[in-house]
Amino acid sequence: MDTPVEKFGVDQEQDWNALSDDDFREVVRSDFEAHYPKALRYSPHRLRWAPLKLWYKRMAAKGWIAPAWPLEYGGMGLSASKLLIFLEEQERWGIARYPDHGVLMIGPLLMRYGTDEQRKRFLPPILSCDIIWCQGYSEPEAGSDLASLRTRAVLAQGGDGDRFVVNGQKTWTTLAQDATHIFLLVRTNAEAKPQAGISFLLADINTPGIRIRPIRDIAGREEFCEVFLDDVVVPRSNLVGEIDQGWTVAKSLLGFERVSLGSPKFCEYGLQMLLKIARLSGQYEDPVFRERFTALQLDVVNLADVYSIFASRLVRGEPLGADVSMLKIWSTETFQRIADLGIETAGAAAGFVGDVEFGGEEVNILGFWYKARPATVYGGSNEIQRNIIARNVLNLPSR
């Protein structure tokens, strides 16, 4: 008797890649416009999981939660062009991003480095949105210099078998208060060089010893958190890859993250906000503004073309090279230029927090500017990204 094939996710309605790009766009657009809650469109800040849960549970049930995953793992299996259309339509309709580390990071990571048991245990609940992940990378003294992390994991014997005992702290952990699980970079060999002796662990956020404290930002939001780990027990079966070889796993995951952070959708959202501000202020017809706006539009169009190249590599399961860092630089710095022009265009109205009356409408002008400010820092600062390109792509000498 043949061994049954493991099933991940739900079956797709059809072969989406067999449709023309125009037909596929129409299918996606019609679905989003018919079903996405109007009250959640174009949120000026990152929404929490609770208001988004029903929408993304619907997307999961429809099989649309993981557009870039291969069909055999429960994804939509979209080609690069179809994936870009899917993202463009999400952004065009103002669909808010949910805590998607599972789909964007852990899922692809387990497909490449995980065991069969880990894939069977974690991929289905990622696809059904029953597990929500957060990222335990940065520490108070290890942000962009991630290799200097100090969170320790000691392998202990006894009980039900091998287990790690973890102690340390993570910070700037996005929406940890909404997560059910966390993935961690931990030091398992204190004697090794900084980029060696690091391991990659998966943990239930409700494990005794894990404590979460939200961080209130300048806009008054609590998108980021500190995570404290005191004698947290993690089964060895939750180790991804080999012990002390987590840096290799982490670099792969950082590649996935930089594709996500390099998506043109952030810039496209910014352009929509900038266009709205310009029209409400009466400056849209000003030739100087139009010239600056058009230059930014062209930057975003070119970014989308380059993004599609990296997205196609992901869809084919190919490793991402160091050149993926250019996406993060390009996207985040373009987003900041768009936001800066928005503040300049809004004038005095840009000095008020929250919704303000502007051109006869209520607009949160500072919202997208706040969203753009930290973008060049998180996910590895852009200075670090430039160093990566200099060393590993351009082969420039170190000073």
Q: Which amino acid is at 197?
A: G
In this structure, what token pair is assigned to residue 310? 């990296």
- Report the distance separating Cα 264 and Cα 299, nearest Å: 10
Distance between CA atoms of residues 14 and 389, nearest Å: 40
What is the distance between the alpha carbons of residues 56 and 46, in angstroms, rounded to a whole number? 15
Largest CA distance in the chain: 74
DSSP 110-174: HHHH--HHHHHHHHHHHHTTSS-EEEE--BTTBSSSGGG---EEEEE--TTS-EEEEEEEEEEEE
Query: Distance (Å, rounded) from C-alpha 122 to C-alpha 142?
Result: 28
Residues known to be catalytic: 257
> Which among 247, 114, 102 is positioned nearest to 185, based on CA atoms?
247
User: Cα–chain-centroid distance for residue 355?
Assistant: 27
Alpha helices in the chain (DSSP H): 21-35, 49-62, 80-92, 101, 107-113, 116-127, 246-261, 265-281, 287-315, 325-346, 365-372, 382-392
Other Cβ atoms within 10 Å of 5 Cβ, number? 7
Specify the DSSP class assigned to residue 318. Answer: P
**How many CB atoms are closer than 10 A to CB 361?**
11
Q: Which positions ≥6 away from 273 have C-beta within 8 Å?
A: 42, 338, 339, 342, 368
Q: Which two tokens stand for residue 367?
A: 């919202």
Q: How many CB atoms lie within 10 A of CB 105?
A: 20
